[in-house]
Amino acid sequence: MKTVQLKVSRLDSNKRIDVLLVAHRVLLSRSQIQKSIADGCVSVNGDIPKSSYRVREEDVIQVVIKDPVPIEAQPEDISIEIIFEDAWIAVVNKPAGMVVHPASGNYSGTLVNALLYHCRNLSGIGGAVRPGIVHRLDKGTTGVLVVAKNDEAHLSLSQQFKKHTITRKYTALVHGVMEQQEGTISAPIGRDPVERKKMSTRSRRARQAVTHWEVQEHFDDVSLVSARLETGRTHQVRVHLASTGHPIVGDRQYGAVKRIRAITSKRVHDAFKGLSRPLLHAHYLEFLHPGTKKPVSFSAPLPDDFLNVLTVLQEQTC
């Protein structure tokens, strides 16, 4: 446990205390600052403020930073593809069906369990069950994911994600023939008001989300699309594409089941019906390396199940 003290300057006067402390990198995020305030670990001139408190020049802020919670997730000898690793980060190619971190119903067999076995050291900022985790991919989504191996790397990557300076590109196979060659979907995303496990563009409490897309190839009844995220909301690519009438092939949660029935080719119909996940792949990731501060990029090829479906489609069009 350590204590950080900060005296408010004239330039910082009138800022919210949670915003100020994040800007000065006292803690990782506003939510962590707000929790620290609720726990009585932040004081202003000896008094406990609210998160909305606007600081004044000459205020003396004191923050007690507790030691990271010991990692509780256990190492498991699970095979994973590590694309790159150094003292700062590990970049992996996540397979389909693997949950990123332990949660209700998935307490083992996750990417975190595998990483703890293969990498040993991971950032403790993510807490007891999410060590090193800076961003996530859905259980069914494959592709490139970066993990922080120390707290400084975690802080750097989190700030880059927050500022939307990290480039993330996905490949998706969607139902329907896209009328335009490219476009941008700008629609807020939040929890679905009826089905709480789903996200929706019709949520009353939504956050702005932007996805840029481009058609890579057309087939009968489907399109191969590349999507670049400007923001990173839960299920963003899946929700945005479904909202345009083009749900991702295999995405039972967002309307793909109904579209399969309309497929005229029996072979294509059977290939789609046999899918156990959405055909969504995070194929490219670019960011500033936390240690060198230089741009680095990583990519992962399409997985076999995705390639097998593309082969069927290509043979149908020959």
Annotated active-site positions, please? 138
Q: How far apart are CA 263 and CA 316, in angstroms?
A: 12
CA distance 239 to 191: 11
Q: Which residues 6+ apart lie within 8 Å of 13 measured at CB?
A: 55, 56, 57
In sequence order, what are the residues at sequence separation of 6 or more whose Cβ sits closer than 8 angstroms to the Cβ of residue 101? 73, 110, 111, 112, 126, 129, 130, 133, 136
Q: How many whole angstroms separate alpha carbon 256 and alpha carbon 25?
A: 43
**Closest C-alpha to 195, from 113, 134, 252:** 252
- Rounded CA separation 45/5 (Å): 11
Whole-angstrom distance, CA of residue 251 vs CA of residue 159: 31
Name the residue type at position 292. Answer: T
| Contact call for residues 146 and 171 (beta carbons, < 8 A) | no
DSSP alpha helices (H): ranges in the chain?
A: 17-23, 30-38, 111-118, 151-162, 236-243, 256-260, 266-273, 304-317
Q: Where are the beta strands (DSSP E) in 187-267?
A: 190-191, 199-200, 210-218, 222-229
Instruction: List CB contacts of 303: < 8 A, sequence separation 6 or more.
Output: 95, 96, 142, 281
